[in-house]
Amino acid sequence: MSDAAISPTTELRPPNADTLTELEHIVGGQHAVRDPDRMAPYLTEWRDRYRGEAAIVLKPGSTNEVAAVLKCANAARAGIVPQGGNTGLVGAQIPDESGSQIVLSLERLVHIRDVDLASNTMTVEAGLTLAGAQERAMSVGRLFPLSLASEGSCQIGGVLSTNAGGLAVLAYGNARDLALGLEVVLADGRVWHGLKALRKDNTGYDLKNLFIGAEGTLGVITAAVLRLFPRPAEQVTCLAGLRDLENAIELLARMREAAGPMLTAFEILPRIGLDFAIKHGTDLHDPLRAPHAWYVLLEVSSPLAGETVHELVQAQLSDAIEVGVIEDAVLTTSDRQTGELWKLREVMSEVQKYEGGSIKHDVSVPIGRVPEFIDRANDLVELMIPGARPVPFGHLGDGNIHYNVSQPVGMDKDVYLSNWEALNAAVHEIVLDLGGSISAEHGIGRMKRDLLPHAKGAVAMELMRAIKTSFDPNGILNPGKLI
Amino acid sequence: MSDAAISPTTELRPPNADTLTELEHIVGGQHAVRDPDRMAPYLTEWRDRYRGEAAIVLKPGSTNEVAAVLKCANAARAGIVPQGGNTGLVGAQIPDESGSQIVLSLERLVHIRDVDLASNTMTVEAGLTLAGAQERAMSVGRLFPLSLASEGSCQIGGVLSTNAGGLAVLAYGNARDLALGLEVVLADGRVWHGLKALRKDNTGYDLKNLFIGAEGTLGVITAAVLRLFPRPAEQVTCLAGLRDLENAIELLARMREAAGPMLTAFEILPRIGLDFAIKHGTDLHDPLRAPHAWYVLLEVSSPLAGETVHELVQAQLSDAIEVGVIEDAVLTTSDRQTGELWKLREVMSEVQKYEGGSIKHDVSVPIGRVPEFIDRANDLVELMIPGARPVPFGHLGDGNIHYNVSQPVGMDKDVYLSNWEALNAAVHEIVLDLGGSISAEHGIGRMKRDLLPHAKGAVAMELMRAIKTSFDPNGILNPGKLI
């Protein structure tokens, strides 16, 4: 891919001394960081995969300050890198190595501006953590269902800018489905006041969904109206052992039919993942008597108190065992047991570290094609790197598989990881052949930017570039990311 | 509003003889209509509110033919008016009066390209009727939940281009929530192949949601991947009589809490609407013993067979009567009774015709503010047109009210209707003051195009115009509509 094709029309410049002084003045000296030690946490991400440098880190305290910062940066042609909780997995939130970019942290915009119980909405600022939003919802008897591993640190502006997914997408949708309105500061400092709390609003083009998932390249989200939901009265969690993935698809169909919108999670784990978890996890045991090739972790959430849902799931599992769709299952009856089952799922990424290098893919295909995808990808891995160990797991209910591949036992880690791009390219070809996505939930950022044109095709790229050029003609917003 | 501000950058021209011949050649002579009688059904809408003229009506038989038509029209700078089932309520599908525009009917694109039960998706072409999509889903044991009064005639391309709403939005969302991917022909004839059947796909800007709701001004939708759902095993429908709308909001909160995602409809009707229905409807009776100021029609749909849901609704209604939230209720136990209750809701627009002129508003506000909106609007109506009779009804569960106002008894209809724009303007001011939308589900089209800049504000308008200019630089797509 030629970089020239996606370059902004004007050259970006490092902010000069006058610009830096003006920026410091806008946010207040104590919220403008130029000291290397204090800047450091904003310049690297937690896995240490991306490291950058910055001219300054700014922490504005209001939407107006964000607007003033962008107006100044746009006039100075200085690149701006918006940053939330710095938990992104594709490097979108980290500046480049030049030291000429400005990191714009939204961490001080933490107010909850409004909670409207009759309308089931909550208006929050971008810097509020996801956990903070969940807690506020819970405190008023509601559920904000978005749920991610990083929920303690990630911020609402970040989860919207990346259209985060997570564990509850099956029933509640992605981040974009959970926001009704946005407040966004544009590249030139104008503010789009789109904080509508409406379920229906057919007045022109859908600007909201354009900013959501744009990774800060079209504007900076400063606040959002979030949807709230009733809290379920009962939840039943189950771990089932299965012979193969076709049976997992069949179990999904059965559970959807039986539980409808009450089916709130449907995750898969391979046996090797369970082995890793039991071997390397803290105090984790095999919940079933015998080993199985695959496991489904499912959750049914119901507004109905009492035994109804437990009985429903129990009946489905009995039927499924009888006809051979599942081999065994455990259904939890206590918070402690439920926590133990989910722990097996939650440690899935972490425990792979103890087995050496892991080459990762965050992909999706149509749900019915997941078994075919995994078969083809596994064959390919064995062909390309004999002995490498696929650990595919994740959100089968959404067709989203984290296709991670652990290194062959005994291979040098760096040698193994040198296959990263080649394996990615080959696995992504299978994904695209099956009508899938090369980034189901993590986004594009720096990591997959060069892969995007091939995955999207020329027409989509041209449309996206036209939008980018219209919204940010000087190309100051998150340069070098996504597009 | 100055028209100059939104004009395309180039002048549109009537298609000349060569262009018309080329267009006829593309679709085949029998699918290119220039005979006035055969063109007539495409030039007026069913309420006869919009009438236009056209140079030609084209009925392409494939996506490739649509592409060739647009390429030719774009080269000739001829305006194209895409049309589905011609059921739109804001005139978006009708050409202007000049006779120089081309009507592009999608009615021949009716194939169902794919049904994927494991993935719960169906890929259909734009000209398939909504009823056709519903029926195909039903024939494979699934539900396509979008449900509108015009479902027998309206087409999938049209419902997506207008982001149609209807009766099941509360549980299943608007049309945009029900489409996973699109195939779209762009103004210059290029095709965007975005027919992904993925629940998660974070690869760049959300083009899909940009085309949905754009009323054919950014591209022509030729096919879509639709989401399918399990069919509920049981449905319970209830009509409750209430003293006031605050109690309707309270009942909504109680039912959401009790039934969660199983609450699939929550509509309101005023007593005057029921009076009209009983007086003018065919074989409709008052389902409750005494009259009530307001009525809620609600539906709960459950995957659970048996009595569970009936008991749940029954218990909620008993509680609600006990604490005075509702005054009376009937809960249906047969298809026939359910049909009778829904009939009261369905005739609500039609029966107003027999009471003379009706000035209409399709608006939304945050759900909790619906009572305030209706109070303020009713006061305003009485002030502006003493004796006029508000008949506000619709989707309380979505905050979407069809605020229709019947003329004072005995007033001349034309005199009454001459107040249309003034009353609209005044009611819309209240809507905007409450953070609402001047078009909740019908769209903008020709009807509300001049109102859009005031409702959206300068920043949103500039962003929308920038998108329009990027996507359709010659302004050939549905000129004079929406933007």
pLDDT recorded at residue B2: 36
Q: Please give the Cα distance from A149 to A435 (Å, whole number).
A: 27
**A contacts of B162 (beta carbons < 8 Å):** 202
Q: Which amino acid is at A229?
A: F
Using CB atoms and an 8 Å cut-off, which of residues 377-416 of chain B contact chain A? 395, 398-400
pLDDT recorded at residue A142: 98
**A contacts of B218 (beta carbons < 8 Å):** 205
Task: Give the residue on A whose Cα is nearest the Cα of B250.
Answer: A118
Instruction: Answer whether residue B5 shows pLDDT above 80.
Output: no
Domains and CATH numbers, chain B: 112-230 (3.30.465.10), 234-351 (3.30.70.2190), 356-434 (3.30.70.2740)
pLDDT recorded at residue A10: 65
Task: Give the residue on A whose Cα is nearest the Cα of B254.
Answer: A230
pLDDT recorded at residue B10: 65
Tens-digit pLDDT profile for residues A55-107: 999 999 999 999 999 999 999 999 999 999 999 999 999 999 999 999 999 99
Instruction: Answer whether residue B333 shows pLDDT above 80.
Output: no
Instruction: Answer whether residue A4 shows pLDDT above 50.
Output: no
Residues B215-231, mean pLDDT to the nearest whole number: 98
Q: How many CB atoms lie within 10 A of CB A268?
A: 26
User: Does residue B229 sit at the A interface (CB-CB below 8 Å)?
Assistant: yes
SS3 at position A317: helix
Of the listed ranges A359-373, B43-57, B123-137, the least confidently predicted one is B43-57
The sign of the torsion formed by the CA atoms of B252, A203, B87, B270 equals: positive
Residues A321-331, mean pLDDT to the nearest whole number: 98
Q: Which amino acid is at B332?
A: T
Instruction: Answer whether residue A221 shows pLDDT above 90.
Output: yes
Q: Please give the Cα distance from B174 to B159 (Å, whole number).
A: 9
User: Does residue A193 sit at the B interface (CB-CB below 8 Å)?
Assistant: yes
Task: Give the residue on A whose Cα is nearest the Cα of B172.
Answer: A261
Q: Is B457 exposed, middle or buried (0-12, 13-18, 19+ CB in 10 A)?
A: middle
pLDDT recorded at residue A335: 87
User: Does residue B441 sit at the A interface (CB-CB below 8 Å)?
Assistant: yes
Q: Taking CB atoms and an 8 Å limit, are A165 and B121 in contact across chains? A: no
User: Does residue A304 sit at the B interface (CB-CB below 8 Å)?
Assistant: yes
Q: Between chain A and chain B, how many beta carbons pairs sit less than 8 Å apart? A: 277
Q: Please give the Cα distance from B196 to A262 (Å, whole number).
A: 25
Q: Taking CB atoms and an 8 Å limit, are A399 and B199 in contact across chains? A: yes
Tens-digit pLDDT profile for residues A269-283: 999 999 999 999 888
User: Does residue B9 sit at the A interface (CB-CB below 8 Å)?
Assistant: no
Residues A35-50, mean pLDDT to the nearest whole number: 93
The sign of the torsion formed by the CA atoms of B249, B252, B254, B260 equals: negative
Judge contact between A78 and A19, C-beta under 8 A. Answer: yes
Task: Give the residue on A whose Cα is nearest the Cα of B306.
Answer: A308
